[in-house]
């Protein structure tokens, strides 16, 4: 009896010993998985350091360190004085470099980190429970395996955020004579005197000058943004005024970004327009960038496309920020994209700039992108993106400028008014289809076989489409006649109340050479694809009986 | 026996030459440029259209009078598990990813089927319609086709112990011959399957991709895979994510073996000749070498004998001469002695003459023995 028991014990011990490495391994793995990606990872990599080849770069968790020092930036960062020209205020701001104001090289740079990091860790060890690695623990920081992965995501400073900064009382104007606080952030740069100054009405986006990588003595966008945004937030926080985030995750964590968007601070229903003297409407023409004296070359106008009446005000509302279209500067498009193309616009001429399908800042590119939205995709998915040549020019090029007096065309103000008139005219022409003329039910029975004919609630579907299109500004503008919405299903048919039957084009079997589906494919394809793209969940593609009942066998 | 460098190189050159001839022949004999039977049929499966209704499975079951499934065809929970073709289902639909993508799986009816090339009784054949057909009456049940198939399609009726057979999609060849569409194609509500000439389907597939490049990945699966298949596929996501192998390459399976197998007759026919030739050449060389060696030996032998004879005769001469000299010396000596003796004798005689007259008898006795010795040696 005793022998048997001891034998069992032995077996158990062996089993445990055998499994131990696996148990240890799996638990370690679980721990690894529980470490989430962080938005605050800074990679400290010094290529000029003598041991750069031997040691992997350090993955530094910024937020964890700022928490450890109770948010006292001064523990790691130096300060500098700043001054805006023609603003009287001077101030101190942190330099967002570790313990230095200017970049170093080689050994000195490396020592700066080693000396300060380790010294602080040693200091912390005396009081704090946990602290970072110390002398001779090189691999604790320089560890290639310790790769947390970054969840950093770019913060988009959209119109809403801009308005919240613009309207807050926490950010006063730095210049006494100015009523608006634009000058608190925006500045211009004088290349000759190498000084910054502020000029009202010439504010632009930071990224136009502060490029992502930084050029010459211009700070890269990252430094420029942190030097302005974070520095200001810190100052306000010190003054106990409610302000924006001061840590990495506050701006660069996806979850926090949603919080920012939903935050109620200064949130308004309708964001007011930016005030920079921009026009409401613009007459976009091909000729006004030519630089020739129009009065002498009157003929030039007749050689161009009809002008486009552009609703600048409406587009402002529907875009994230000015940068959505004005990707390089807030100047008019044809400053760089001239009619024939120019070095300034990288030889992309005006026509290309406005019509490229693959560029989000071009008219067609952006409009195509909009058509991928759920409400539009039901119909538009099945109409693949048209090439530039297949578009109807007249849907945008509506203003026949040739019939207008030359003086009006040359004058900016009157030409923009011309555009306004054209837009109002177009909006007035919006034509609706009366409900009575739309068939309520359509029985589809031409190929009924296994299932009973389908009673298609035509009226309901049409009304739903009309309603969705009516709510969407872009759809309303381009579907000026509601009948064009019928062409979503009755494709290749003219916009008419009496479109031909599906069977007038689709035969029973698919036409492989032309790629035209057969009747069964056409019906199911039209309905199912539209339901899938519009994410209609109550009728699934495999719910056969919801559209047509099965015949009793 | 150590092989000489020259001989070794000779052999190598000969071997390379033969193999080059052999493979050249094999390529010409194989079907390298076979691009499928002209006007063969195919089926294009657009997985972006498939809704996973399993109607094709149902139709396949009915058309081929297969055993009824465990769960009915309208039970879509079956799709939650990945399945493969078996003896009771020639085709199955599998579901992939969260936002489901459905793919139908069945025999792809390769242009140059691996199964047919593996079958040594020709139970599997590529029909000119495009279908890979199976002849049960020829099958010996080796199941090499199941091993050979890169798509893992053929199944075997293991549950039938007496007349087991290999089962797979027939591309509904009997129906095609009647002018009907394959069962699955006919029933597909979404026209996710279309039947037609393969060359037209390739065009249609590319037409769809080009017309809607965002919707499809730029790849028609089966256009080139394993030398091309009659069944073609379109997808919006990489085929690898649909459980379809992308590592197959574009070489048809039979070509992997055609080179080696095609050279068998040449190797069998030519190698004996070649080897005999190589053997004969090396033999002849050996013979010549032996002859040369023998000649050399003979030569040396004669030369040595001559030399020896020369030396011998020289020695003989020398010896004779020495002997003669010795003899002559001896003779001289003897003569001198004799002369001396004679002188002495004369002197004695004179002294005796002078002294005596009495001892005349003794003088005659001394003279006789000396004259006897010289006479003997001369002989």
pLDDT digits (tens, 9 = 90+) for A324-346: 999 999 999 988 998 888 898 99
Per-residue model confidence (pLDDT) at position A443:
94
Q: How far is A528 from chain B (nearest CA, A)?
A: 8
Distance of residue A541 Cα from the nearest chain B Cα, in angstroms: 6
> Taking the mean position of all CA atoms in its chain, how far away is CA A208?
17
**Cα gap A203→A183, rounded to integer Å:** 9
Q: For residue A550, what are the β-bridge partners?
A: A451
Question: Which residue in the block uniquely carries the two structure tokens 């065809």?
Answer: B73
Per-residue model confidence (pLDDT) at position B26:
39
**pLDDT-based confidence at B38, cuts 50/70/90?**
confident
3-class secondary-structure state, position B156: strand
Specify which residues B170 forms β-bridges with: none
pLDDT of residue A1: 46
| Cα B121 from chain centroid (whole Å) | 26
State how far Cα A164 lies from the chain centre: 19
Q: Distance (Å, rounded) from C-alpha B171 to C-alpha B85?
A: 14
Look at B197 and A525 and tell me if their CB atoms are within 8 Å. no
The vertex-A43 CA angle with A40 and A48, nearest 5°, equals 155
* Res. B374: pLDDT tops 50: no
B interface mutation test: which of A506, A508, A510, A536 has the most B CBs within 10 A?
A510
Instruction: Provide the pLDDT for residue A53.
Output: 86
Rounded to the nearest integer, the mean pLDDT of chain B is 85
Q: Which pLDDT belongs to residue A485? A: 93
For B70-116, the pLDDT digits (tens) are 999 999 999 999 999 999 999 999 999 888 999 999 999 999 999 99
Q: For the segment B44-76, what is each residue's pLDDT rounded down to a tens digit?
A: 999 999 999 999 999 999 999 999 999 999 999
DSSP strands (E only) in B309-368: none
Confidence (pLDDT) at B32:
54
Per-residue pLDDT of B221-274, as tens digits, reads 999 999 999 999 999 999 999 999 999 988 888 888 877 877 788 788 888 888
Containing H/E element for A112? helix A106-127
| Rounded Cα–Cα distance for residues A393 and A395 (Å) | 6
Average pLDDT over residues B267-290: 90
Evaluate if residue B378 carries a pLDDT over 50: no
pLDDT at res. A401: 80
**pLDDT tens per residue, range B308-348:** 999 999 999 999 888 888 888 888 888 888 888 777 777 77
Interface contact B109, partner A, CB < 8 A = no
Residue B34 binned pLDDT confidence (cut-offs 50, 70, 90): confident
Q: Could you tell me if A166 and A275 are in contact, meaning their C-beta atoms sit under 8 angstroms apart? A: no
pLDDT classification of B12: cutoffs 50, 70, 90: low
Q: Which residues in chain A have their CB less than 8 angstroms from residue B181's CB?
A: 509
Residues of chain A under the 50 pLDDT cut: 1-2, 21, 23-34
Taking residues B353-379, report their average pLDDT: 54
Reported as a single tens digit per residue, the pLDDT across A312-325 is 999 999 999 999 99
pTM: 0.73
User: Quick check: B188 pLDDT over 90?
Assistant: yes
Reported residue count of chain B is 379
CB contact under 8 A, A520 and B208: no
pLDDT at A25: 44
How many angstroms separate the CA atoms of A30 and B26, rounded?
Answer: 58
Q: How far apart are CA A492 and CA A526, in angstroms?
A: 13
Residue B3 clears pLDDT 90, i.e. is over it: no
Instruction: Please tell me the distance from the alpha carbon of residue B188 to that of residue B58, in angstroms, as a whole number.
Output: 10
Q: How many CB pairs under 8 A join A and B?
A: 44
Percent of chain B at pLDDT above 90?
63
């Amino acid at each position: 009896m005793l022998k048997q028991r001891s034998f069992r014990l032995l077996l158990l011990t062996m089993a445990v010993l055998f499994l131990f490495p696996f148990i240890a391994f799996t638990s370690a793995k679980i721990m690894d998985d529980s470490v989430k990606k962080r938005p605050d990872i800074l990679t400290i990599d010094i290529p000029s350091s003598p041991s750069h080849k031997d040691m992997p770069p350090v993955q530094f968790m910024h937020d964890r360190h700022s928490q450890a020092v109770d948010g006292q930036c001064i523990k790691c960062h130096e300060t500098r004085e700043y001054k805006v020209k023609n603003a009287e205020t001077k101030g101190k701001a942190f330099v967002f470099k570790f313990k230095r104001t200017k970049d170093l090289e080689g050994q000195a740079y490396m020592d700066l980190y080693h000396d300060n990091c380790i010294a602080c860790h040693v200091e912390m060890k005396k009081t704090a429970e946990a602290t970072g690695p110390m002398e001779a623990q090189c691999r604790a920081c320089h560890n290639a395996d310790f790769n947390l992965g970054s969840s950093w995501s770019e913060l988009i400073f959209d119109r809403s955020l801009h308005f919240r900064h613009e309207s807050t009382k926490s950010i006063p104007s730095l210049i006494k004579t100015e009523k608006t606080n634009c000058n608190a952030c925006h500045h211009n740069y004088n290349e000759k005197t190498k000084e910054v100054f502020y000029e009202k009405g010439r504010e632009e986006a930071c990224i136009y000058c502060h490029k992502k990588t930084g050029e010459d003595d211009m700070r890269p966008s990252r430094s420029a943004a942190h030097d302005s945004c974070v520095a200001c937030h810190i100052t306000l926080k010190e003054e106990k005024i409610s302000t924006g985030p001061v840590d990495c995750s506050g701006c660069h964590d996806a979850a926090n970004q949603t919080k920012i968007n939903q935050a109620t601070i200064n949130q308004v229903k309708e964001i007011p327009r930016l005030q920079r003297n921009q026009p409401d409407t613009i007459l976009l023409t091909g000729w006004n960038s030519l630089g020739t004296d129009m009065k002498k070359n009157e003929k030039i106008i007749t050689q161009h496309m009809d002008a486009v009446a552009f609703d600048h005000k409406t587009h402002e509302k529907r875009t994230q920020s000015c940068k959505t279209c004005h990707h390089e500067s807030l100047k008019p498009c044809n400053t760089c994209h001239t009619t024939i193309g120019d070095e300034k616009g990288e030889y992309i001429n005006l026509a290309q700039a406005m019509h490229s399908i693959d560029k989000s800042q071009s008219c067609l590119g952006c409009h195509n992108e909009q058509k991928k939205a759920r409400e539009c995709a039901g119909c538009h998915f099945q109409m693949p993106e048209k090439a530039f040549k297949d578009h109807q020019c007249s849907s945008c090029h509506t203003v026949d400028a040739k019939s207008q007096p030359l003086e009006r065309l040359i004058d900016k103000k009157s030409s923009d008014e011309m555009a306004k008139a054209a837009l109002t005219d177009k909006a007035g022409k919006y034509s609706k289809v009366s409900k009575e003329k739309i068939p309520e039910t359509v029985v589809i029975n031409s190929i009924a076989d296994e299932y009973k004919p389908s009673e298609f609630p035509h009226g309901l579907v049409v009304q739903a489409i009309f309603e969705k299109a009516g709510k969407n500004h872009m759809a309303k503008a381009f579907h000026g006649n509601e009948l064009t919405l019928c062409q979503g299903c009755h494709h290749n048919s003219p916009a008419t109340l009496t479109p031909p039957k599906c069977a007038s084009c689709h035969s029973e079997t698919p036409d492989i050479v032309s790629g035209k589906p057969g009747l069964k494919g056409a019906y199911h394809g039209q309905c199912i694809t539209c339901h899938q793209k519009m994410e209609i969940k109550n009728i699934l593609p495999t719910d056969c009986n919801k559209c047509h009942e099965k015949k009793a066998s | 026996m150590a092989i000489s460098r020259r001989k070794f190189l000779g052999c190598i050159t000969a071997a390379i030459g033969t193999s080059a001839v052999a493979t050249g022949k094999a390529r010409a004999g194989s079907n390298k440029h076979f691009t499928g039977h002209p006007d063969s049929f195919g089926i294009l499966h657009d997985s972006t259209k498939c809704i996973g209704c399993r109607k094709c499975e149902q139709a396949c079951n009915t058309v081929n009078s297969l055993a009824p499934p465990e769960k009915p065809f309208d039970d879509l929970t079956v799709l939650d598990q990945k399945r493969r073709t078996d003896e009771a289902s020639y085709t199955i639909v599998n579901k992939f990813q969260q936002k489901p993508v459905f793919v139908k799986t069945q025999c792809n009816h390769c242009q140059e089927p691996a199964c047919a090339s593996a079958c040594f009784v020709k139970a599997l054949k590529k029909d000119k319609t495009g279908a890979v057909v199976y002849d049960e009456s020829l099958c010996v049940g080796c199941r090499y086709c199941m091993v050979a198939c890169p798509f893992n399609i053929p199944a075997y009726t293991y549950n039938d112990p007496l007349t087991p057979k290999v089962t797979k999609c027939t591309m509904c060849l009997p129906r095609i011959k009647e002018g009907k569409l394959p069962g699955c194609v006919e029933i597909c509500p979404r026209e996710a399957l279309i039947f037609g000439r393969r060359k037209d389907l390739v065009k249609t597939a590319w037409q769809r991709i080009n017309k809607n490049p965002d919707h499809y990945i730029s790849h028609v699966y089966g256009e080139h895979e394993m030398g091309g298949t009659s069944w073609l596929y379109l997808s919006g996501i990489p085929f690898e994510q649909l459980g379809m192998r992308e590592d197959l390459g574009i070489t048809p399976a039979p070509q992997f073996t055609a080179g080696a197998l095609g050279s068998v007759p040449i190797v069998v026919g030519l190698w004996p000749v070649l080897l005999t030739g190589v053997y004969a050449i090396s033999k002849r060389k050996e013979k010549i070498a032996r002859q040369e060696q023998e000649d050399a030996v003979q030569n040396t032998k004669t030369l040595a004998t001559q030399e020896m004879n020369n030396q011998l005769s020289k020695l003989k001469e020398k010896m004779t001469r020495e002997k003669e000299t010795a003899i002559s010396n001896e003779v001289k000596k003897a003569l001198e002695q004799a002369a001396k003796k004679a002188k002495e004798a004369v002197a004695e005689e004179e002294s005796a003459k002078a002294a005596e007259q009495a001892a005349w008898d003794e003088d005659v006795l001394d003279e006789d023995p000396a004259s006897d010795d010289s006479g003997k040696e001369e002989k």
